[in-house]
Structure 1
Amino acid sequence: MAELLVLRHGQASFGADNYDVLSDLGRAQARAAGAWLRQMEWTPDRVITGTLNRQIDTASEMGFAPAPETHAGLNEYDFANLLEARFKDAAPELATGDRRQHFRVLRETVFAWQRGEIENPAETWDAFTARVEAARAFATDTDAKRVLIVSSGGVIGQMTAASLHAPAAHMMNLNLQIKNAAMTRFVFSGSLFSLNEFNATPHYATPQGAALMSYS
């Protein structure tokens, strides 16, 4: 059996003009994850990220030798576009640091997207799930025994929900739980693909490491 370890990127720049930049905390989270994996003698044979800066830079901070490949199927869904498509000119202001409002609107918007209630989004729900599956297939079509992916919460939530044959709404319930630089592990062999571990953060399991914990 081979392993697919999917890591959510480190903390990005919540509330900033450009979210797609790792914070100093995000860089420290990525380094902690890489250090813990090396301590466990878990070294990837293959590294894959999406094309977003926060994903690529997380992989870089982890410091593993294989040159990362990229696959756009691992990119996060475009929440800003979904907001614009859902609310038109009446989109709520979310760049204020109010995290509770942000995540409530995020959850409701994704559920509406899944139900096909948002007109003309840049990407449909079906297109999103198809590209996530294409990325999963790309990552597991390999002779490598240890594959590391760096992606985002929505992609990880969808990959996990699909592996469990769970209803679409479950993707978002999983998405909102995933901590920055958390590890979700699958095992695979041929057509077999099974969840082994979800949202694990053993690299935060010390008093010093606990200070690195974040969700956004």
Structure 2
Amino acid sequence: MGAIYLVRHGQASFGAADYDQLSERGFEQSIVVGAELRRRGVEFAQARSGSLARQRDTAATALKELGSDVKVVEDPRWNEYDHVEIARYHAGGAEQGDDSRAYQKALDVALTAWCDAGETGPCGETWPAFLSRVTAAVHELAAELGKGENAVVFTSGGVIATVCGALMGTPAAGLVKLNRVTVNGGITKLISGRGGVTLLSFNEHPHFEAEQAAMLTYR
């Protein structure tokens, strides 16, 4: 069986004018991810990244540390939902500010409302459209893998949470409940075989424990 490794991007610039930039810690986390993949001895036949800067930079940094020359194919289907727009329409325009916990609480409410609104929601991308694009991306990638081949995808927490929720039969609940606990640089592993795609592990992050514990972040 082949495997698909979903890697959440490193820490972005929460509270800054441009969130879509890796922080200094985000780059450091990306190096640690690359070292962890090297430690596992995984070889990748395919690599994907969303088109967001934080995803692309995580991919480039981690793969350089891994020592892999696999070509990263950018695919916007791996991009995160538009949290700013969702907060605007479903959380009264909640802003990031400096309190990440307060913002996460408001975002949870907004995401739930976004899912409940379905195809009639006011956002440019509705929940059903988001769900459709991310699940299509993972199944298409799985279909491209040869026997025993592995792929790595550098994406975002909401995408990973939705994919995992969908594989467990509860995509909306997965988005809200799993999204809030995904760590920057966490690794989720899917298995692709005759029976389709199966979730094997979610949000692995032992590479951010022990001497690297200070590197652990959620946003």
> TM tier, shorter chain?
over 0.9
Deviations 1:13-59 (A, max 9, x none): 00001000001101111111111111221121111001100000000
Out of 179, 183, 187, the residue aligned to residue 179 of structure 1 is: 183
2:158 to 143, 150, 154: 154
Counterparts of 2:194 and 2:132 in 1: how far apart (Å)?
Answer: 19
CA-based RMSD of the aligned residues comes to 1.5
Partner of 1:75: 79
Name the residue aligned to 2:168: 164
Match of 1:115, SS state, is helix
- Residues 170-196 of structure 1: CA deviation (Å, up to 9, x unaligned): 321001110000000010024511111
- Counterparts of 1:72 and 1:191, CA distance in 2: 27
The whole-number CA distance in structure 2 between the counterparts of 1:137 and 1:193 is 7
Q: What TM-score, normalized to structure 1?
A: 0.93
- 1:119 deviates by 4.1
1:37 corresponds to: 37
Moved more, 195-204 or 102-111: 195-204
Does 2:22 match 1:22?
Answer: yes
Following superposition of structure 1 onto structure 2, how do residues 40-119 of structure 1 map, counting pairs within 5 Å?
A: 40-62=40-62, 63=64, 64-86=68-90, 90-92=92-94, 94-116=95-117, 119=121
1:143 CA displacement = 3.0
Q: Within 1, Cα distance between the matches of 2:18 and 2:129?
A: 25
Whole-Å separation in 1 of the counterparts to 2:35 and 2:59:
12
SS in 2 for 1:43: coil
What is the alpha-carbon distance in structure 2 between the residues aligned to residue 190 and residue 81 of structure 1? 39
Confirm whether residue 196 of structure 1 aligns to residue 197 of structure 2. Answer: no
CA distance in 2, matches of 1:95, 1:171: 19
User: What are the ranges of 5 or more consecutive residues in structure 1 without an aligned counterpart?
Assistant: none
Runs of 4+ with deviation above 6 angstroms = none
SS at match of 2:215: coil
8 Å contact kept, 1:114–1:169: no
Distance 2:126 2:77 in 1: 14
Residues 167, 66 of structure 1: alpha-carbon distance in 2 compared, 3 angstrom cutoff: closer
Amino acid corresponding to residue 10 of structure 2 in structure 1: G
Bigger helix fraction: 2
Is the contact between residue 7 and residue 182 of structure 1 (CA under 8 Å) also seen in structure 2? yes
Closer, same or farther: CA 29–111 of 1 in aligned 2, 3 Å? same
Please, what TM-score do these two structures have when normalized by structure 2? 0.92
- Give ranges in structure 2 of 5+ residues lacking alignment: none
Q: Percent identity?
A: 31
The alpha-carbon deviation at position 167 of structure 1 amounts to 5.3
- Alignment of 1:8 with 2:8, yes or no, is yes
Q: Could you give the per-residue CA deviations for residues 47-86 of structure 1, whole angstroms, max 9, x where no partner exists? A: 1001100000000001131110011111000011112223
